[in-house]
A and B are shown apart, each in its own frame.
Chain A
Amino acid sequence: MKYSIFSLVRNALSHHERWPLAWRSPDPKREYDAVIIGGGGHGLATAYYLAREHGIGNVAVLEKGYLGGGNTGRNTTIVRSNYYLNANAHFYEFSLKLWERLSVDLNFNVMFSQRGVLNLAHSYADLESYSRRGNAMRLNGIDAELLDRDEVERMVPLLDCSAEARYPIMGGLLQPRGGTARHDAVAWGYARGADARGVDIIQQCEVTGLRRNGNRIVGVETSRGYIGAKKVGLAVAGHSGQVAAMAGLRLPIETHVLQALVSEPVKPVLDTVVTSGAVHFYVSQSDKGELVLGGDLDMYNSYGQRSNLPPVEHAVQSLVALFPSFGRLRMLRTWGGVMDMSMDGSPIIGKTPIDNLYINCGWCYGGFKATPAAGWCFAHTIAQDRPHALNEAFTLDRYAQGHTLDERGAGPFAWMH
């Protein structure tokens, strides 16, 4: 059923009790042309584009828990493409362009709001590096504006731009087309679109093993029995190492917990996304009115999908230092998600040493905004057995070849990116 004003009116007349299910919950078939492991945004987007762009609809998406219950439902919903390196800039800008028409494409409102993403500069060195990054972005066709202190103050009046500020504001780099989206809706929209094109979405189905024959995967062992597969794609960020190990692969990835928290809801006070690289902090206001904030990793390997006090304290201290008027807000809840932190801070989408096994992992802090392009590129890689031009640089073997994409220049320390 197409969602529209007419379907809304029709269902209002029946008290919204007759809406059809947005996707089926079928039992797994014996074999699929492609099995995608992981029913988050990336896995569902991959299945959707496999069906829509490549005509491969005999696809299953296997999800251990429920759709979008991992990092898709735990991120802080920010979408941007303000990258310096060409490969990242092209990829994330393509993603942003997909975001701009995603609600129409999916006939599902992902509530994409281009409210801008502002990086604060607290020193002349910050301004220098932002002007360099902004220029690189503009050369790659991405919108970027370097703001001075007064422009930042006009744009975000609650920010402490005074001379006495704990973190003095010298200016900022703004990407006006950046913003936020409704994270759950992205998983649901892709799930509905994929299901409509014949994809089987199978929840509560944990993959426990990969059955191999020579250098090929022939199927997956799951908690719901064996499922044959001509091709297998992994999209299980956070636990990529666990699933890759079933195929004997070791990855250039460490898993770290990243936390976020929200305040009690208040009336609209912050109409853009504000981030500070120096303070390691970012904040935006959700459509419900909550301030959504977060900062750094906990900085040690962790699979604990939960919150821990020191980073929460840091985030709240940063919030109050930058926005003194938020000091009286109470925090409503905190949570954590586990990130695939890759060794160069950039993602991996590509082939593996096993012929028909493909991998999408290593998203660090940036998996949510990548969802449409990651699905697009991963679907292309699986369908064509070769990467799309946009993910050619994101290979698994780039580490061995010395072609790492180290946006931050932090070296091979996963938690430093």
Chain B
Amino acid sequence: MMLIKCPHCGARAVTEFTYGGAAEIARPADPVGVSDAQWTDYVYMRDNPRGVHDEVWQHSAGCRRWIAVRRNTLTHDVIATADPGKLPHR
């Protein structure tokens, strides 16, 4: 069972959490000004790394807060957790 350490509640089973996808994708700040290609990148394109991946999760069966999780997609090691946007730089 994968354990994720919620910054607010402590280590909990993965079944308490809901996955929210890659953390690095950011909605374009100027939606009108960006090109179609930039929109496509934002909506559909993903780095999909085999290894360290920054993600957002919601502790949906706990405190219900969104958190940031740095995790290894091959070994399932949870490397770090933090409030959204607060993971240390890699």
Q: Mark B34-48, 1 if CB is under 8 A from A, else 0.
A: 001100110111111
Partner of B14, one of A252, A303, A310, A400: A310
Indicate if A399 sits at the interface (CB-CB under 8 A): yes
Partner of A343, one of B37, B44, B47: B44
Q: Which of A300, A304, A309 has the most CB of B within 10 A?
A: A300
Partner of B19, one of A251, A300, A309: A300
Indicate if B2 sits at the interface (CB-CB under 8 A): yes
Indicate if B76 sits at the interface (CB-CB under 8 A): yes
Indicate if B53 sits at the interface (CB-CB under 8 A): yes
Partner of A412, one of B18, B19, B43, B55: B43
**Contacts of A400 on B, CB cut-off 8 Å?**
36-37, 40, 44
A251 to B47, CA, bound (A): 8
Which residues of chain B in 34-74 are interfacial with respect to chain A, using CB atoms and an 8 Å cutoff? Answer: 36-37, 40-41, 43-48, 50, 53, 55, 71, 73-74
State how many angstroms separate the Cβ of A141 from the closest Cβ of chain B. Answer: 32
A252 and B50 contact, CB distance less than 8 A: no
Indicate if A242 sits at the interface (CB-CB under 8 A): yes
State how many angstroms separate the Cβ of B55 from the closest Cβ of chain A. Answer: 7
Interface size in chain B (residues, C-beta < 8 A): 27
Indicate if B85 sits at the interface (CB-CB under 8 A): no
Q: Which of B50, B55, B76 has the most CB of A within 10 A?
A: B50
Indicate if B32 sits at the interface (CB-CB under 8 A): no
**Contacts of B75 on A, CB cut-off 8 Å?**
304
**Contacts of A413 on B, CB cut-off 8 Å?**
21
A255 to B2, CA, bound (A): 18
**Contacts of B15 on A, CB cut-off 8 Å?**
310
A399 to B45, CA, bound (A): 9
Indicate if B1 sits at the interface (CB-CB under 8 A): yes
A142 to B40, CA, bound (A): 34
A242 and B50 contact, CB distance less than 8 A: yes
Indicate if A253 sits at the interface (CB-CB under 8 A): yes
Partner of B73, one of A252, A301, A310, A415: A301
A250 to B47, CA, bound (A): 7
**Contacts of A399 on B, CB cut-off 8 Å?**
40, 43-45
Q: Which of A250, A301, A412 has the most CB of B within 10 A?
A: A301
A400 to B15, CA, bound (A): 34
Which residues of chain B in 15-37 are interfacial with respect to chain A, using CB atoms and an 8 Å cutoff? Answer: 15, 18-19, 21-22, 36-37
Indicate if A414 sits at the interface (CB-CB under 8 A): yes
A304 and B73 contact, CB distance less than 8 A: yes
A84 to B7, CA, bound (A): 44
Tell whether A301 pairs with B55 under 8 Å between CB atoms, given A252-B44, A255-B48, A399-B40.
yes
B1 and A310 contact, CB distance less than 8 A: yes
A252 to B44, CA, bound (A): 5
**Contacts of A278 on B, CB cut-off 8 Å?**
none
A239 to B73, CA, bound (A): 12
State how many angstroms separate the Cβ of B53 from the closest Cβ of chain A. Answer: 6
**Contacts of A253 on B, CB cut-off 8 Å?**
46, 48
- Can you list 9 A-B pairs, Cβ within 8 angstroms, ordered by A? A239-B50, A252-B46, A304-B74, A308-B1, A310-B15, A399-B40, A400-B40, A412-B44, A415-B19
Residues on B facing A (Cβ under 8 Å): 1-2, 13-15, 18-19, 21-22, 36-37, 40-41, 43-48, 50, 53, 55, 71, 73-76
